[in-house]
Amino acid sequence: MTTNEPLWHGQAHMPTVARSRRVIARGDGVHVWDEDGHRVLDLPASLWYCAVGHGRGEIADAASAQLRTLAAYSNFQSYATRPALELAGVLADAAPMEQAKVFLTSGGSDAVDLSVKLARRYWSAVERPRKRTIVTRERSYHGLHGFGTSISGLDVYREGIDRLLPDAVRVPYDDWRAFERLLADGGSEHVAAFVCEPVIGSGGVLHAPDDYFANVRRLCDEHDVLFVADEVIAGFGRLGTLFASERFGLRPDILLFAKGVSSGYLPLGGVLVAGRVAAPFWDEDSTLVLRHGLTYQAHATACAAGLANLAIIEREGLVARARELETTLASVLRPLERHPLVEQVRVGEGLLAGVVVRDAATAGRVSDDAWERGLLARQIGDGDVLQVSPPLTISPEQLAEAAELLAASLDDVLA
Ligand code: PMP
């Protein structure tokens, strides 16, 4: 057993799932170790984020150098820090949008809420103040701050919380015609933005049909709706392109990100805004009149870590690597579909997949068994899906090994 009774203070730590007493102590590459030295292959890359793998001294060195030089200084009004300016430049240059501007946050939920504010502010600024409604897709997840909780496609996060954003509408995740009908039924007048994950992550790794996004983007253009891509999971190489929108040939008006931008080494996220959409937020003196600021926005040390992380992604060709490995991933996971406990294997672009197991209880038993065998397999969706989103550095052999371990655990649970 890999419990840590004497050291356990889990009762005080709210996010801890009571069932689990696993304390992750160390990481290197695609593996992490618990405090008892038990090694597991990190199949979800922690919470989808550890793109470059664990134990990258280069990121630690960059963060440490920044901590020693200037740990932090607010990036507010007339002041900025060098890592913030550099990271903003790198991201804006790479973004799939014209003359992008970027607002750096401390994570994805911050970025979601700012995106919703920006969308509404934009329509107010161009004198279309009735455009207020935010449309999202069923089963989508957009973080847990106020707006994110309001617009998520997973009802469970709204339970017991009253009076959230009233102007939030959900459409099916796989039927663009539902969005078309909404716009035709007067929606044009009041829809401000369509917010979507290019591939739904936490909701269970759900892909849209091939023609879905092209049609949504077209409808957004025809009806003056801002297209907002939530790339918190899918960005930074996960789908085999730097930005997930690129994989679908999309040019979002607003693109928000987190996780992979720093591989989670320090909390970082942000919102990229196309120049056209950002324009109303600058006055004639080039002063930003956004009326939005966060103490830790563009945090200097987090930005230094982000820059070091992006340098690794580029130097090691991890974006192309994720694309190359997508066929390997599909070929090692697909055979699992023949297993009596597996309902479906969801594969698609890049290193992102889901293995749908009979039910949540079964998935939990598979996950527990896999842990003992040396594989960390996390449950998502309604608890019935095992998340596959390894570090982009994973080797084909390690992908095959992960699939073998999953198969063995499925067999154990069936026996
Ligand atoms: N959007 C998506 C698509 C996410 O997956 C997440 C986090 N899993 C968020 C937003 C929220 O990000 P954070 O947890 O960093 O606030």
The domains found in the chain, sorted by start residue, are 5-56+317-414 (3.90.1150.10), 58-315 (3.40.640.10)
pLDDT, one tens digit per residue, over 40-84 is 999 999 999 999 999 999 999 999 999 999 999 988 878 999 999
22 CA to middle of ligand 1, Å? Answer: 23
Tens of pLDDT, residues 115-128: 999 999 999 999 99
Pocket of ligand 1 contains residue 29 by CB under 6 Å: no
The residues, any chain, with a CB within 8 Å of residue 289's CB and separated by 6 or more, are 281, 282, 283
Is residue 199 within 8 Å of 348, Cβ to Cβ? yes
User: What average pLDDT does this structure show over 313-333?
Assistant: 98
With a cut of 90, say whether residue 20 has pLDDT above it.
no
> What is residue 142's predicted lDDT score, i.e. its pLDDT?
98
The per-residue pLDDT for range 166-218, each reduced to its tens digit, is 999 999 999 999 999 999 999 999 999 999 999 999 999 999 999 999 999 99
Tell whether the model's pLDDT for residue 6 goes beyond 70: no
| Residues 191/133, Cβ–Cβ less than 8 Å | yes
| Banded pLDDT at 1 (limits 50, 70, 90) | very low
- Give the pLDDT band of residue 283 (cuts 50, 70, 90): confident
Task: Report the pLDDT value the prediction gives residue 382, as an integer from 0 to 100.
Answer: 96
- Copy the structure tokens of residue 217: 């983007």
Q: What's the distance, CA 290 to chain centroid?
A: 25
Question: 228: Cβ below 6 Å to ligand 1?
Answer: no
Nearest atom in ligand 1 to 269's CA = 15
**22: helix, strand or coil:** coil
CA 365-350-49 angle, to 5 degrees, is 65
- Rounded to two decimals, the ipTM of the complex is 0.99
148 Cα–ligand 1 center, Å: 9
pLDDT at 232: 98
Please give the average per-residue pLDDT across 266-278, as a whole number: 97
Residue of minimum CA distance from atom 12 in ligand 1: 108
Residue 250: its pLDDT value, please?
97
Q: What pLDDT is attached to residue 161?
A: 93
Mean pLDDT of 397-404: 98
- Tell me how far apart the alpha carbons of residues 263 and 50 are, in angstroms, rounded to a whole number: 4
Predicted confidence band of residue 8 (pLDDT cuts 50, 70, 90): low
- Cα atoms found within 13 Å of the Cα of residue 345, Cβ hemisphere only: 18
pLDDT tens digits, residue range 86-100? 999 999 999 999 999
Predicted TM-score (pTM) of the model is 0.96
Contact between residue 153 and residue 139 where contact means Cβ atoms under 8 Å apart:
yes
**Pick from 3-7, 141-145, 257-261: least confident:** 3-7
The average pLDDT across 244-263 equals 98
Q: Give the residue, 95 or 2, on which the prediction is more confident.
A: 95
Q: How far apart are alpha carbons 344 and 324 in whole angstroms?
A: 23
Mutate to test the pocket of ligand 1, among 50, 105, 112, 262 (most ligand atoms within 8 A of CB): 112
Residue nearest to atom 13 of ligand 1 (CA): 108
Model confidence at 18, pLDDT cuts 50, 70, 90, reads: low
If you measure from the C-alpha of residue 140 to the centroid of ligand 1, how many angstroms do you get, rounded to a whole number? 10
> What is the C-alpha separation between 187 and 225, in angstroms, rounded?
10
pLDDT at residue 12 in the model: 74
Q: What is the pLDDT of the chain when averaged over all its residues?
A: 94
Indicate the pLDDT class of residue 397, thresholds 50, 70 and 90. very high
Distance (angstroms) between ligand 1 centre and the Cα of 233 equals 7
Position 89 scores a pLDDT of: 97
